[in-house]
Amino acid sequence: MRDLLARLDGLRERLREIPQADERRLQDLRTEILGRKSGTLTDIIRSLPSLDPDSRKAVGGPANTLKREWEAALDARAAELEHAGAAVSDIDPTMPGRSQWHGGLHLVTQVVDEICGIFRELGFTRAVGPEIETERNNFYALNFPKDHPLSALYLRGINMLLKHGVRSCLEYARSGDAAKARELSNPDLAPHVSFVDMGGHGYAVVRAASDSLETEFVGIPRPLERSERADGGPLNYRVRSSAKLWAKGESPKLKLDVLEGDPKLSI
């Protein structure tokens, strides 16, 4: 009886082999331990009838319990291997390894950067700021009183001040006459700026060819409203800027044409 109990203890220790077993090893363990003809545990259980009643009771209970433990552990490992095999069933191991992927800029970002680079060669400067330049954002929200003497500088937005200067802003706020305001524009204020959208809102269509570059800018009135009209809705003005291909060492020449509306001090 002691010999049989020692063999059961040895078989219980071998349960540790199951978690690391592959499919082939798992089948070998099942045959070796639970095989009907020559399984080690099967032989022990088969020998129980030849034992006396006390020995049969002492060995039979642990032997049957151990058999259930082996069956459960083998089935669990088999299910685990089957699940793992299904997870990689779509992988072709004969294919060459895939090189490491590297991130990159979005296509839209690449196009925007390329367009900005072209306009930079034309003499433009890219400025990034708030999407909406309103009197409230630039003046009233900063707790300036509405009758402040400098409020006229913000009536037409910072863009007008950037291109034409203080005197033009004050004159346009006083008279509303774009011609008079243009006469007071400071030509030395921003000589590198050829065009400024004074309205602060709009969109552009850019056409690039091998020998020319053209952009059509549309100034949209505020407040912004969605339009279902076929022509896209109302606009303040539409202006076209174009430049021909220039040789190395030459300065590009920008041509501005007002196609529609009144850009006032925007040009």
| Residue 137: pLDDT band with limits 50, 70, 90 | low
Look at 44-53, 126-135, 220-229 and tell me which has the smallest mean pLDDT. 126-135
CA distance 261 to 3: 107
Q: Is the torsion defined by CA of 48, 53, 58, 64 positive or negative?
A: positive
CA distance 11 to 64: 12
Q: Is 237 helix (H, G, I), strand (E, B) or coil?
A: strand
Nearest Cα to 65, choosing from 1, 2, 9?
A: 9
Decide if 98 is inside a domain.
Answer: no
On the question of pLDDT at 142 being above 60, the answer is yes
Q: Tell me the percentage of the chain whose pLDDT exceeds 70.
A: 77
Q: What is the pLDDT of residues 102-117, one digit of tens each?
A: 888 888 889 988 988 8
CA distances from 167 to 65, 182, 196 (A): 100, 10, 17
Helices (H), the chain: 2-13, 23-34, 40-46, 53-87, 107-121, 135-138, 158-164, 166-175, 178-183
ω into residue 19 within 30 of 0, thus cis?
no
On the question of pLDDT at 130 being above 70, the answer is no
Q: What is the pLDDT of residues 68-96, one digit of tens each?
A: 998 999 999 888 888 776 655 566 777 78
Domain hosting residue 57, numbered range = 2-87
**In this structure, are residues 257 and 267 in contact, taking their beta carbons and an 8 Å threshold?**
no
Decide if 249 is inside a domain.
Answer: yes
Decide if 147 is inside a domain.
Answer: yes
Decide if 73 is inside a domain.
Answer: yes
76 and 142 belong to one structural domain: no
79 and 195 belong to one structural domain: no
133 and 261 belong to one structural domain: yes
Q: What predicted TM-score, i.e. pTM, was given to this entire model?
A: 0.35
Decide if 154 is inside a domain.
Answer: yes
133 and 260 belong to one structural domain: yes
Look at 52-61, 145-154, 211-220, 255-264 and tell me which has the smallest mean pLDDT. 145-154
Residue 192 pLDDT: 58
52 and 125 belong to one structural domain: no
**In this structure, are residues 184 and 202 in contact, taking their beta carbons and an 8 Å threshold?**
no
CA distance 69 to 64: 9
Please say which residue of 87, 107, 130 terminates a domain. 87
Distance of CA 132 to the CA centre of its chain: 25
**In this structure, are residues 240 and 214 in contact, taking their beta carbons and an 8 Å threshold?**
yes
CA distance 173 to 152: 6
35 and 150 belong to one structural domain: no
Decide if 113 is inside a domain.
Answer: no
138 and 236 belong to one structural domain: yes
Helix (H) or strand (E) holding 203: strand 202-208
The mean predicted confidence, pLDDT, of the chain is: 78
CA distance 119 to 204: 13
255 and 124 belong to one structural domain: yes
**In this structure, are residues 210 and 201 in contact, taking their beta carbons and an 8 Å threshold?**
no
129 and 256 belong to one structural domain: yes
68 and 164 belong to one structural domain: no
Number of domains in the chain: 2
65 and 156 belong to one structural domain: no
On the question of pLDDT at 156 being above 50, the answer is no
Decide if 197 is inside a domain.
Answer: yes
